[in-house]
Chain A
């Protein structure tokens, strides 16, 4: 197996195994049901990944498939706002029939944007083609998740869309303009709501707000801090007994930090860095612009999501509920992200090897054959 694929898959495998272990450990308090559910979703995700890997990126670009998938995910995002269909949990409507549509919206948006941009690579400098249209394209997904409200995912979607557009060639200044507009909108939404402002800013000094806004971040910090170099030992964490809220999903890194220490959290960070590097290498070498943008989008999505989650855990960022990819409990997130990993591997597999590329540069053979034969073998 080629080293890129090897590193990519082993980092994902490591994160999956760690996630299962930590869920089992958290099960001491919450019950083991979640651990088995997660294993079940993991199996589904691996199957989805295998399927995506076998299909590869090319068929996805045909028959207006990206648009259909994106439209479907938008429909789900609309449905999740209907009160009779989606129950309100913790003041937000994020769940529809046992899954989170916003999780499906992430790859759908990436797919749609990659498809759009790959066809207009030379026109991205244009106002309408390179900024207004892709902007309007991604706006509904961002706005609908914002309305759930799921501000964290909305911001993540916006950043991923921006990164994709930047790679495709939209000028920086226009992206800056969009970012500025987003910031203004965000501040307008915050304005006049002291509780939201308090929650938003509590990360700057969690200890001061530990009994009010920063209950979760502060306990997360305590949990991480208890770990030290090597942690208190697997299964021996104490703050998992109901102290850190959402420790099986968004705050799972704090449990990793408590039980395995700095060594464990460093390995997690290292695994995500490996994933990002591998993803970038795949995007760099991918055979066509659609695959390249798709690979880059997936890589930045996973990488940014991990960055935000870890950033929240260490109180470097405001507290937002975003799961840690591959590690946190959650079926929708796990299946979509594993499917996307499969897609990445599929792209990698269809990339001609270096020798084949050199031959291709000489004009001695079609590129696709080399990649295709690698899978068919």
Chain B
């Protein structure tokens, strides 16, 4: 048997072991209970799984459903240089013929393995994701994939050793790979660039950042909401099924349908551009509005820009139709005359002396001074003197009220960003100069769109409409989510006044008016010319004018209101000479595009010989 001291040692060592277990128990307590929340938080980063799926951005379409902005799936093509081995040169040759670059340069730069870092365990980490091409089309990638699969990379496929087989497979399949991406494309390129706007593109994420235009204003509708899920992953990064805490499906964006008609937009742009080159103007605006509803059918601002807006001059960025606050000049006389008609102060047939001396500091002169003429003629010839006299008759307060009624002191409300307006009443109380200047369209500020809407109000029985650019918003299944209804802002003038004004406006577009070049062949047009001096930093600048024509047709039942404006034309500067012919060209084509019924013309006398001449000569009748 053991002796006493041996029993003692047994007991002693046993107690030491038991005490050691007690110590472990204390360590366990401090880890599991005391540090529980700390360690739990730190553990989360290991198994947490988060993933977001991009949603498909909605399209922007014109009134007929033609796409103006759409999302296109593309491929970003990458190469893993580490897999090329000794066949780098063969791969470089193949890729260079595709990218049309120098093979040796490619082999030296992109196809050379690049050391990124050395990780904590001493392993070298190389860049295995070198981008060869961004935004390649799917077809291009398929073509490249096929070329890679068929290439032998200098091996003889008939006799391959196992190691070579592996290398060949790597070269063919794994070395060059593609990742899906989405890009935003604008099939109409320059057309409507200001209205549609642009988005910025987050490379590889399928996420778009709206920058301006409809893309920005209606981003909430277009973008949809990306899908998101949160769950648990394993050590290799794969999600473990059945443990999702959060899961949202991606909701695709809605499509925005504009009131813009691409056909009309194209007509307006083509004619406006032709005029721009002919007159050597700095910029130009054309607006087509459907009179009854206020739908904007075309909105052109020149100069414009294409798909790479970073390279265009700043001048082109501005949407002149809504962002340029200008002095309208003579076109503004429609407001003066409408105010006078509204107050019952004038009649088209009453005589007026266009050489009347006005008691104001700076006298007004006409370019073609007339004597005593009918008011209709004075309006048609755009006499400044007559307009000033009528402005004085109306008076500052009543003129101000009418200017407000036509919507010049509030934003037109198109809904695009950057729309400008001058809110203050233009006519200073008690200042005769101010009244006479405002009466002829100086000292007042308006955007081209405001002018077009004011003219549309006269054509629409005095009712000022709110301009519309978005017709409706539809989802992917074609269901209408929201629809914009035509909205009347207010009755600017009573219908009788509007009808009377149309009489005067018709006279402008006639043989004796300033707008004679706007006269249409098959329709009666009505409108008003305007030629305004351009104000610079130090007053009006010599030789710089802005020529405008704003009118509508057919005058009997107005359908379209068209505004054309040229900024600082060089060859000719009167609105009647520059803008009016372009109005006519646009209006003629728009009428045939929309198939508007032309006015009936007196039938020519029936010519007996004509039918025979039309027949083929050898018909033997």
User: With the chains together, A107 CA to B14 CA distance in Å?
Assistant: 19
The reply to whether B18 and A273 form a contact with Cβ atoms under 8 Å apart is yes
Residue of A nearest to B13 (CB): A163
Q: Which of B2, B9, B42 is the one whose CB lies under 8 Å from A166?
A: B9
Is B120 on the interface with A (CB-CB < 8 A)? yes
Shortest distance between the CB of B7 and any CB in chain A (Å): 7
Query: Does B480 count as interface, using CB distance less than 8 angstroms?
Result: no
A310 to B43, CA, bound (A): 20
Q: Would you call B121 an interface residue if the criterion is a C-beta within 8 Å of the partner chain's C-beta atoms? A: yes
- B35 interface neighbour in A225, A283, A289, A300, Cβ under 8 Å: A225
Cβ of A167 and Cβ of B46 under 8 Å apart? no
B10 located at the interface, meaning its Cβ lies under 8 Å from any Cβ of chain A in the complex = yes
The residue from B31, B120, B234 contacting A241, defined by CB atoms under 8 A apart: B234
User: What mask results when residues 1 to 23 of chain B are scored 1 for a CB within 8 Å of chain A, else 0?
Assistant: 11101110111011001101101
Q: Would you give the 0/1 interface string for B528-563, flagging 1 where the beta carbon is closer than 8 Å to chain A? A: 000000000000000000000000000000000000
- In this assembly, does A362 line the interface, its C-beta being within 8 Å of a C-beta of chain B? no
Does A227 lie at the interface of the complex (its beta carbon under 8 Å from any beta carbon of B)? yes
Give B40 Cβ to nearest chain A Cβ, in Å: 5
Selecting from A32-40, A82-90, A257-265, the interface stretch reads: A257-265
Cβ-defined contact, B33 with A276, below 8 A: no
Bound-state CA distance A142–B145 (Å) is 60
Mark contacts of A305-318 with chain B using CB atoms, 8 A cut-off: 1 yes-contact digit, 0 otherwise: 00100110010100
The answer to the question of A246 belonging to the interface, with a C-beta cut-off of 8 Å to chain B, is no
Cα A304 to Cα B240 in complex, Å, equals 38
Q: Which label, helix, strand, loop or mixed, suits the secondary structure of the A interface?
A: helix
> Chain A residues with Cβ under 8 A from B247's Cβ?
none
Task: With CB as the reference atom, state the residue of chain A lying closest to B121.
Answer: A212
Q: Could you tell me the distance between the alpha carbons of A367 and B120 in the complex, rounded to whole angstroms?
A: 65
B522 interface contact, C-beta 8 A: no
Tell me, yes or no, whether A277 is within 8 Å of chain B by CB.
Answer: yes
Question: Of A261, A280, A289, which is within 8 A of B2 by CB?
Answer: A289
Query: For chain A residues 295-340, which have a beta carbon within 8 Å of chain B?
Result: 296, 299-300, 303-304, 307, 310-311, 314, 316
B27 is an interface residue with CB less than 8 A from chain A: yes
User: Across the interface, which residues of B come within 8 angstroms of A314, CB to CB?
Assistant: 24, 27-28, 31
Contact A222/B43 with A166-B9, A166-B13, A292-B2 known, Cβ cut-off 8 Å: yes
Asked whether A304 lies within 8 Å of B17 as measured between CB atoms, the reply is yes
Q: Which of B35, B38, B235 meets A242, CB within 8 Å?
A: B235
In the complex, which residues of chain A have a beta carbon less than 8 angstroms from the beta carbon of B120?
A: 211-212
Q: Which residues of B contact A227 (CB under 8 A)?
A: 32, 36
Please tell me if B141 contacts chain A, counting CB pairs below 8 Å.
Answer: no
B23 touches A316 (CB 8 A): yes
Q: A222-B43, A222-B46 are in contact. Are A307 and B36 (CB under 8 A)?
A: no
> Separation in Å of the B588 CB from the closest CB of chain A?
74
Per-position binary interface string of chain A over residues 221-252, scored 1 when its CB falls under 8 Å from any chain B CB and 0 otherwise: 11111111100000000110111000000000
B489 smallest CB distance to A (angstroms): 62
Residue B29 is within 8 A (CB to CB) of chain A in the complex: yes
- In the bound complex, residues from chain B placing their C-beta under 8 Å from that of A296 are 10
List the B side residues contacting A51 at CB < 8 Å. Answer: none
Residues in B neighbouring A276, C-beta threshold 8 A: 14, 17-18, 21
Q: Mark A64-98, 1 if CB is under 8 A from B, else 0.
A: 00000000000000000000000000000000000
User: What CA separation (Å) do A122 and B13 show in the bound complex?
Assistant: 20
Interfacial chain A residues near B132, Cβ < 8 Å: none
Once the chains bind, are A228 and B33 in contact (CB under 8 Å)? yes
Assess the B234–A225 pair: CB atoms within 8 A: no
- Set of chain B residues within 8 Å of A121, measured between Cβ atoms: 2-3, 6
Considering only CB atoms, which chain B residue lies closest to A227 in the complex?
B32
Q: A241-B47, A241-B235, A273-B21 are contacts. A167–B9 as well, Cβ < 8 Å?
A: yes
A88 to B38, CA, bound (A): 39
Answer yes or no: B25 CB below 8 A from chain A CBs.
yes
Tell me the minimal C-beta distance from B13 to chain A in angstroms. Answer: 6
Bound together, the chains give a CA A221 to CA B28 distance in angstroms of: 10
Q: A224-B28, A238-B232, A272-B21 are in contact. Are A229 and B43 (CB under 8 A)?
A: no
Q: Say whether A288 faces chain B, with CB atoms less than 8 Å apart.
A: yes
CB-CB under 8 A from A123, the residues of chain B are: none
Q: With a CB–CB cut-off of 8 A, which chain B residues contact A228?
A: 32-33, 36, 40
Please give 19 more A-B residue pairs, beta carbons under 8 A apart, in addition to A221-B31, A222-B46, A257-B32: A29-B234, A222-B43, A223-B43, A224-B39, A225-B32, A225-B39, A228-B33, A228-B36, A228-B40, A238-B47, A239-B43, A241-B47, A243-B47, A257-B28, A269-B24, A273-B18, A289-B2, A314-B24, A314-B28
* Residues of A that sit less than 8 Å from B by CB: 29, 121, 163, 166-169, 211-212, 219, 221-229, 238-239, 241-243, 257, 261-262, 265-266, 269, 272-273, 276-277, 280, 283-284, 288-289, 292, 296, 299-300, 303-304, 307, 310-311, 314, 316
> Closest 4 interchain pairs by CB?
A225-B39, A242-B235, A241-B234, A222-B43
> 11 interchain pairs (CB within 8 A)?
A167-B10, A221-B39, A224-B31, A226-B36, A228-B40, A229-B33, A265-B28, A273-B18, A296-B10, A300-B17, A311-B24
